[in-house]
Amino acid sequence: MTPQNCDDTVVDDTVVASRNSDPGTARAALRALLRPLLLPLCLAGAGCLVGQWLTLDVRAHGGWYGWLSSGLLAVGLYGSAQGISRPQVRGDLYRIVVAITFGVVVKAAFIAGALWLAFPDRPEYLVLAVAMAQIDPLSVSAMLESRDMSARAKSLLAAWASFDDPVTTVLVVILGSLVLENTVSVASGTQDYATTLIGNLVFLSVAAVVWAALRERGPADAVPFPALRGPRQVRRILQYAGLAALLATATWQFLMLGLALSALFFRPALGAWLGRATNTALVVATFLLGVLLAGGADFAVGAVLGVATFVAQMLVAAVVGLGFSRHDRAALCLSQQNGITAIILALLLEPGLPAAVAIVAPAILVVNVLHLTSTALLARSQRYRPVRPEDTPPGGPRLGPAET
């Protein structure tokens, strides 16, 4: 990896800030971290003002609220998984699998235990533990642009944040169906949650067959749509239609795991449109969250949920990050952020758990404030700390290909 400026010292592919770090660079990094926090606060505030005059009916099973929240989740999950760079993931595939299986379960169990100790008479709050046990991929993507982690650690965190979203989504639906009533307000005809896995496998198989038939081979994938002619243009249109059908089916039958997995290969050339769609979903979801927050927020439960979520990430990342440098492990431990997925899951849970939004909203705020504070302290400590040999394991990271 090539250092971006002469003030950085590179040790075994880990960038460590030296004593002469530019304060302007630190301020720019802080602004980059604060921006994802301030915009959601403004959107939620605007929604809260609108909520003083507009009341959303989320009690009924189905309806426009259910379709909208499920559609927003489908767009968010596809955007998250589609952004994974497959060549970077291969070196740490084992770690990613551990993070999204063992990691998600351990994080959810730890958060649930903290909630149970604090509020033993509210077992329905345990569902919220799973809803918060994922890392927001949009916030992580913005964070990685300014974080002095190794390229390998960035790749691991990006894949972790993208893959754990569909896992937690499925767990929320399954657990919510056992604990709550009217958990997911989607249209009638939704599958029984016990057969969700089969439905997702069928969905994934159909997506693979369709993509095998429509896939463009060679450099045509990167050619903009207006530059295509004849059969290639028709093929691209069919790819877009196939993607729209996948999103609609996943929303209709709530096959979010299959949708996220299909995003690993079903990748028509969308250019900037995918990012715009994901950001639009975030804006709409955050505004709806604000509208529902007009009824009030439960800061006590939200604070416990937020702190437990942040601590749970530290415990799991300490295990997943074994073999990385000390700085990379610290950055992974402090990487917990919540955003679009937690917001939409709260919207989905609101019909069955009316306190979901009131609890999850302050919990998200607590998590992100803890993240900003801890990462700022970590960056400050790295700025004035000399490079030590023990920061990097002997011979460099032992797993995965070396970065260049």
Flag whether 2 is in a domain.
no
Q: Assess whether pLDDT exceeds 70 at residue 220.
A: no
Q: In the 8-state DSSP scheme, what is residue 384?
A: T
Flag whether 174 is in a domain.
yes
Flag whether 65 is in a domain.
yes
Flag whether 400 is in a domain.
no
Q: What pLDDT does 61 receive?
A: 52
Mean pLDDT value of segment 224-239: 72
CA dist., res. 290 & res. 140, Å (int): 23
CATH number at residue 269: 1.20.1530.20
Q: What pLDDT, in 10s, does the model give residues 88-112?
A: 555 678 888 888 888 899 999 999 9
Flag whether 399 is in a domain.
no
Mean pLDDT, the chain, whole residue set: 78
Number of domains, the chain = 1
**Domain coverage including residue 280:** 21-391
Q: pLDDT: is 239 or 146 the higher one?
A: 239
CA dist., res. 161 & res. 377, Å (int): 23
Flag whether 105 is in a domain.
yes
Flag whether 7 is in a domain.
no
Q: In the 8-state DSSP scheme, what is residue 8?
A: E
Structure tokens at 50: 């609108």
Flag whether 203 is in a domain.
yes
Contact 353, 180 (CB under 8 A): yes
Q: pLDDT: is 159 or 333 the higher one?
A: 333
Q: What pLDDT, in 10s, does the model give residues 8-22?
A: 433 344 434 333 445
Instruction: Give the 3-state secondary structure of residue 256.
Output: helix
381 pLDDT tier (thresholds 50, 70, 90): confident
Mean pLDDT value of segment 283-311: 93
Q: What pLDDT does 403 receive?
A: 40
Q: For the chain, report the end-to-end CA distance as a whole number of angstroms.
A: 4
Model confidence, pTM: 0.80
